[in-house]
Amino acid sequence: MSDAVTDAEPLAADAHDFFKTTLSLRPGFLIRRLHQIHLALFAEECAAFGVTPVQYSIMSVVLLQPRIDQARLGHEVGVDRATLTNVIGRLETKGLIRRSKKATDKRSNLVKLTARGEAVLEGMADAVQRAHARTIAPLPPEDQARFLDYLNRLVDAGNEYSRAPLRIA
């Protein structure tokens, strides 16, 4: 390592030290990075399907609960209303879901997968599983289980703080 420091060409060692002493201790920074990595792995595994992780979560819930109310759907995947409207619109354009109005309340949208949506969801299941598995694959199996347990505890404990809390109970 050199002692020379110039303004315009910072040393890589500085950056490395900064990462070690600062960024690597910030859970929020690391979580953002890991989320980016997961999005990339998901995109790589699922490129053929053109469905994002959030779209996939939404379709998973709709498969299980056909004609689910759109507002409720948002609560079950933790997606805020504006994002959900956007995502649902895209899935509808792709012919993967269909919206209809509730007979008793014209303001409510009910959401259902199309036959094509069901086929896509089924067809991409293995690829999605690989994307999730690869995200934590660098850890040994027993640490993977512990990492998932930590995530579940933190997500559960922090639920109310998020912009779109899960409402499933």
23 binds a second copy per the rule CB under 8 A: yes
112-131 residues near a second copy, rule: CB under 8 A = 131
Q: Interface with a second copy includes 72 (CB under 8 A)?
A: yes
Cβ(121)–Cβ(63) under 8 Å? yes
In the list 66, 89, 95, 123, the residue contacting a second copy (rule: CB under 8 A) is 66
Q: What is the DSSP code string of 58-74?
A: HHHHHHHSTTEEHHHHH
* Contact between 67 and a second copy per CB under 8 A: yes
Task: Tell me how far, at minimum, the Cβ of 152 lies from a second copy, in Å.
Answer: 5
Using the rule CB under 8 A, which residue among 39, 92, 99, 130 binds a second copy? Answer: 39
Distance from C-alpha of 60 to C-alpha of 62, rounded to nearest angstrom: 6
Q: Examine residue 37 and tell whether it contacts a second copy (CB under 8 A).
A: yes
Closest CA relative to residue 111, chosen from 143, 79, 153, 137 = 79
Inter-CA distances, 134 with 41, 69, 82, Å: 7, 33, 30
Could you tell me the end-to-end alpha-carbon distance of the chain, in angstroms, rounded to an integer?
56
**Contacts with a second copy in 141-160 (CB under 8 A)?**
143, 146-148, 150-155, 157-159
Q: Which helix (H) or strand (E) holds 9?
A: none
The residues, ordered by sequence, that sit 6+ positions from 56 with a Cβ below 8 Å of its Cβ are 46, 121, 124, 128
Total residues belonging to the chain: 169
Binding a second copy (rule: CB under 8 A), the pick from 1, 2, 142, 163 is 163
Tell me: does residue 138 bind a second copy (CB under 8 A).
yes
Q: Which of 31, 47, 82, 119 binds a second copy (CB under 8 A)?
A: 31
Least separation in angstroms between CB 24 and a second copy: 5
Q: Quick one: which segment of 16-24, 86-94, 115-123 binds a second copy (CB under 8 A)?
A: 16-24
